[in-house]
Amino acid sequence: MPTRFRKVRRQRGSRTHGYGQIGQHRHSGQQGGHGNAGLHKHKWSWTIKYDPDHFGRDPFRPPSYYHKPSRWVNVGDLDELAAGKKAKDLDLSAIGVGKLLGSGVVSGAYQVKVDFFTKRAQAKIEAAGGKISSAKPSGHGT
């Protein structure tokens, strides 16, 4: 296209080039502010879609964050786990359970081995005549 046919040649001398009379299409008004302005306001949907981790926490976490058990069961579920077994020995860490919680009722005297357990779970198992031991050397967890 020849230069003489371009739209800007027709706009020469018009000051605003067709964008209104009070400085529109100048500076940063068309883009909603400079830099990261408005990411919590009018650019929130852009933030969610394109930069969801922008307002995250510090990535450095305490060591206890990485040692949270991923699977847990309650003492009320021990009867289902022991169903079909003649022995009352349950190795929960071998089946992928990381922690034993204290909700429910224990009906049998089980010998339970698990990485972490609560004090309430320990009290219920020992009250039923069983015994609980930790698979980890640090003792019971919280």
What DSSP element (H or E) covers 78?
helix 78-82
Q: Give residue 103's domain range.
A: 67-134
Which residue did the predictor score with more confidence, 64 or 19? 19
Residue 2 domain-assigned? Answer: no
Domain with 78 in it: what CATH number? 3.100.10.10
CB 128 within 8 A of CB 103: no
pLDDT band at 21 (very low <50, low <70, confident <90, very high): confident
Stretch 65-74: mean pLDDT: 84
Give residue 105's pLDDT. Answer: 94
Q: What does the buried/exposed string (b/e) look like for 104-116 if buried means 16 or more CB atoms within 10 Å of the residue's CB?
A: eebeeebebbbbb
Q: Which of 30-34, 66-70, 96-100, 135-139 shows the lowest per-residue confidence on average (mean pLDDT)? A: 135-139
Residue 97 domain-assigned? Answer: yes
| Count of domains observed in the chain | 2
Residue 28 domain-assigned? Answer: yes
CB-CB neighbours of 92 under 10 Å? 25
Give residue 137's pLDDT. Answer: 64
